[in-house]
Each structure stands twice: as structure tokens, then as C-alpha cells.
Amino acid sequence: MAVLESKAEAAFDGLYDQHKKAIYKLKEQKRANYEKLRLATAKPHEVPWHLPASIDFKRLPTDPLWERHLYVEGNGQFRAELGSWEAGVLKEELAKPEVVGWLRNLDRKPWSLEIPYEKGGDVRPMFPDLVVVRKVGSEFAIDILEPHDPSLSDNFEKAVGLAKFAEKHGGLFGRIQLIRKQSSAGGEHFARLEINQAATIKKLLLITSNPQLDDLFAVASK
């Protein structure tokens, strides 16, 4: 069975590589069929990230209004109930004039940005909370921001997953940050570990426990 799966995967990859330019040009619904096949494997495969013309996003009329979201309702507004950490980080971002847009990256949507990480020998999907767009000169920078509670058991695995992603794809992005709320003499603040730097990537790839990540946060976060 392992031999059959290996041969089938090699055959599929060859066909996908041969036709991926044509697949990229297909309409969203047809392209999604090929992407589902591409993801139907225990080992993650890269799939080009496409944002559709519209997204499915649950919200209530009582949810807070937010500025500059990439998708808005017919009245030009966007409502969403964000977690306290997400809301706090987003307020810091929207205070920067260079931030021109953002996306609340929901879990397991067809349009979500998905990054793999390993935990207990299994490969799992991670969906960073915020994708932020900044205007830098005449170009745009795309940032990945992940506010993450340090008490959660998957902290260092997700940090390593982000580091591996940055090592391979960091040139396509601006900031890739793991973010924590921390207390200091000046009160609580959001500490940001900038992962999309060669020195930080090298350190993260050596980490095997949450205490080691805590130590790196203590010396390298801002």
C-alpha cells in the first residue's frame, strides 16, 4: 500500500506541475476542486493562496465595527467580534497610517491562509489570526500576526512551524510575528517575536520545549 501511495503521489504531482498554470487561471469554483485533491494527503502540499471575490463570515448586528477590512458588507462596513488579544493587536495595527487593510483569518475556510506545524508526530494546520497589509513605498507588504496564549501546550510547535514557513516563504511576506500579552513595570503590553529574520529562524528551529520559547521571548521580543 505504501508503494502504491508513493507512486500515485508522484504521478499526481507530475500532472499538477504540468497543468498548474492552467489551473491557476480557472474560475474559483473549478480551481477549488483541484486544490482539494492537492490537499488530500497526510503530507502537506503547497497550494497557491487565492482570496475570492467574497467570503462567508458570520457576524451579528451588535458586533463592533472595524475599519479597513479587506471585505465589507454592502453598506461598506465590516463587523466582527474579536477576542480580546486579537482586538488589542488590531487596534495597535490600525493606529499605523501605513496599514491599508487586514483580514481576520478564520479557521478552515476555503479562503483561509493555512500553515502546517508538527505536534506529537502529526502534521496539523495552523490558521494565524490576522493578515495585515501595509503600504511600503510603492509596494505592499503582507504581514502574518498570531496572538497566542503562552499557557497553551502547542506554543513551541506552532513557533517552529512559523519558523519553517518563514524559512521557505519569508521573501513573500513582511512581518511574521508570534505575539503575547505580557506584564511589565509600565503595565500590560503586547510583546512581539519577529520570526521573519534569519537569526530568529535559526534559534526557533532548535527549540524543543515551551520553556525554551519563553526564554527566547524574554530576550528577543519587542
Residues 95-114 pLDDT 10s:
999 999 999 999 989 899 99
Lowest mean pLDDT among 19-28, 38-47, 78-87: 38-47
Average pLDDT, stretch 114-135? 92
**Is 147 a residue whose pLDDT tops 80?**
yes
Angle between helices 155-169 and 210-220 (to 10 degrees): 60
Average pLDDT, rounded, for the chain: 89
Handedness of CA 61, 129, 75, 68 (dihedral sign): positive
Coil, helix or strand at residue 179: strand
Q: Are strands 187-194 and 176-184 parallel, antiparallel or unpaired?
A: antiparallel
User: Is residue 80 helix, strand or coil?
Assistant: coil
Residue 97 to residue 181: CA distance in whole angstroms: 23
pTM: 0.80
- Percent of the chain surpassing pLDDT 90: 59
The C-alpha atoms of residue 90 and residue 217 are separated, in whole angstroms, by 21
At residue 40, the pLDDT reads 59
